[in-house]
Each structure stands twice: as structure tokens, then as C-alpha cells.
Amino acid sequence: MDILYIIWFDVLPILVFLGGGWFLAGKFKIDVKTYEIVITRVILPCFVFFSLYQVPLAASDFLLLPAALLLTALLFVLSSLLSKGLSQEPSLRQAICGMASCPNVCYLGGVLTYFTFSHLPFASAGEAAELPKALALLSLLMTFSHLLLRTAGHAIVSRESSSLSSLLLRALTTPVLYGALLAFAAQHFGLSLKGTFLYPVLHHFTGAFVVLTAVTTGVMIQRSHRFTVSKDILLPALVKLLLSPLLALGLLTLFPSMDDLAKEILLLFAAIPCAMDFSMADTTSSAQKSIFQRSLMTQMSLSILTLPLVLFLCRLLFPASL
């Protein structure tokens, strides 16, 4: 029954939001760049701040960061080797590396985690007991992933040369980083926001984040090319959607003190399709944008099949919510 619950309560609601974005993009002229600015500079930092502020994390929870870094490094090495056999064009090889190693955690990760830990089989008796901590753990990975995309990801796929100082500047001008740091500072100094006018404002950013990121993803899918079965798209998709979760499972043996919920979040991080950021970036070439857009459509389509399996595997191996 668990797999049916996962499809009914987790996958189908996400498809509704994505379908809403698809419909809006087909009927209206939507400026995705404006959506991206609102999400990355306002809603995402506030969401990360509130999620991390609400739940004090244990030292073992921060093992997610080296685990995610190791996973990303392994995927990059494997995709680099794979890209050499798929294309002779350096810029396209760079795009293949990005498709296979960088997840869409800041857009799809939030809505997936929210629905997963709000309903059966991960929540029972109408109580989403694990949801606040799941969102806090995901916020760690969102901060890591967004920093990685703006620095290493930019250096990999950009047409422009990237110096160390320019990458450092990009890291220091990433708003989500300050959302996380402010949350840790508020916890450290015992700052209480409950009872202030800010608390309900920040609380509602969770809902805004879930809706807006899911709808924006639907808009981007509608603007992508059709489902593609060419090897330069399909093979990186298989690496990202199938090999990546298997690698994550293997890496978890290196972190025995990580609790079950953190392990589930790492598996979700590993199974999420490729990042949308590259297809919206101004520094990528037209050929790269084309391959990113085709890859987004293909990976999102295939993930309808792979994500329920990974969620079921999470439930089977790491029953944190039992």
C-alpha cells in the first residue's frame, strides 16, 4: 500500500502544480526571470531561515553536507567520463556534466519534501511530526546546492572565464547563505520571534515557496523541448535519476551516525532531476540552453517513474516516521 500512498499523496499533487504552471505558460506571457528573482532573492532565503530557525539541528545532521558534496563530486567525475563519449564539443560536454550532477533541489526539492512528509506513509494519524525537521535538513542542502550552482556550476558551464575572486563574490552575494547564517545566529543568541509580527509572515513563506517553485517548474517544462531519447540526453538522465540514488546509498555507509530522516533527505536529494538554473542563466550558450531544456523535460518525465520508487525505498530502508 505504501507505493500507492506515495503516488496518490506525493506524486499526483505535484503533477497538479506542475500542470498549473504548464497551463499558465501556454495561455499567458510569463516572465520566468522575474519569478526566479523573487524566489532566489526573497522567498528561498526566508523559507530557509524559518525552516532552520524552527528546528535546532544536532551535530550529526550536518553530516548531510559532506555526504552531498561527495555525491556531487562522484557524479561530476562519472558524467565527465560519460560526456567524452557523447560529444566532442567542450561546451556540450560541460552541459552534460551539469545535467547529470546538479539537482533541482531549490525548486522541486521543497515541494517534494513538503508533500512527502505531510501525508501517508511518512506521516500518520494526520500528524506530520517529521515535516519541520525534514524541511530544516532540506534547507541545509538547498543552501549547499545553490552555492554550488552559483560557483562551481557557473564555472563549469559558463561561456565567461571565472576567476577565484569572481566565484567568491558570487558566493558572498547569494541571499540564501545569509538566510541560513541568520537562522543559526538567532538560535545561538536565543532570539525568539514567536509573538512578533514577523513569525506569521515567515510562516506563510513556506506555502508561498511550495506553490511558486512548483508552478515555475511547470512553466519551464512547458517551454522546454519535447521528450528526447537521444543518448546525449537519456544517458545523463539515467545517471542522475538511477545511479545517483544508488551512489547515495553506498555513501551512507560512510556516515553511520546519520539518523534515518537525514538519510531519507539525502536520497531525495540524489533522486531529484537536473537543475533548471542552467537553462535560465545568461552566461550559457544557445546550444547549452537547448540541451538543458531538452534534458529538463526528459528527466522530469522519467522522474514520475523513478521518484516513487526512491520514496518507497526510503520508507523501506529508513522508516524514520514509524
pLDDT in tens, 84-127: 887 767 777 877 888 888 888 988 999 999 999 998 888 876 67
Say if CB 179 and CB 49 are below 8 A apart: yes
**DSSP 8-state class, residue 282:** T
pLDDT mean over 190-215 = 91
Residue type, 154: H
Cell numbers that stand for 217 in this block? 517548474
pLDDT for position 322: 47
Closest by CA position to 150, among listed 226, 265, 41: 41
Cell numbers that stand for 194 in this block? 514567536
Task: Find all residues with CB under 8 Å of 54, minimum gap 6, and list them.
Answer: 132, 136
At residue 241's C-alpha, the angle toward residues 256 and 257, to 5°, is 10
pLDDT for position 281: 61
Domains and CATH numbers, the chain: 2-317 (1.20.1530)
pLDDT mean over 140-168 = 81
Over residues 245-285, the pLDDT tens digits come to: 999 999 999 999 999 999 999 999 999 998 777 666 655 66
Over residues 131-151, the pLDDT tens digits come to: 999 999 999 999 999 998 888
Over residues 32-80, the pLDDT tens digits come to: 888 889 999 999 999 999 999 999 999 999 999 999 999 999 999 998 8
C-alpha–C-alpha distance, residues 116 and 63, integer Å = 22
pLDDT category, 226, cuts 50, 70, 90?
Answer: low
pTM above 0.85, yes or no: yes
3-state secondary structure of 284: coil
Helices (H), the chain: 2-5, 12-27, 32-38, 44-54, 64-86, 90-101, 110-116, 131-148, 154-157, 164-172, 175-188, 198-223, 231-238, 244-251, 260-271, 277-280, 286-317
Say if CB 214 and CB 17 are below 8 A apart: yes
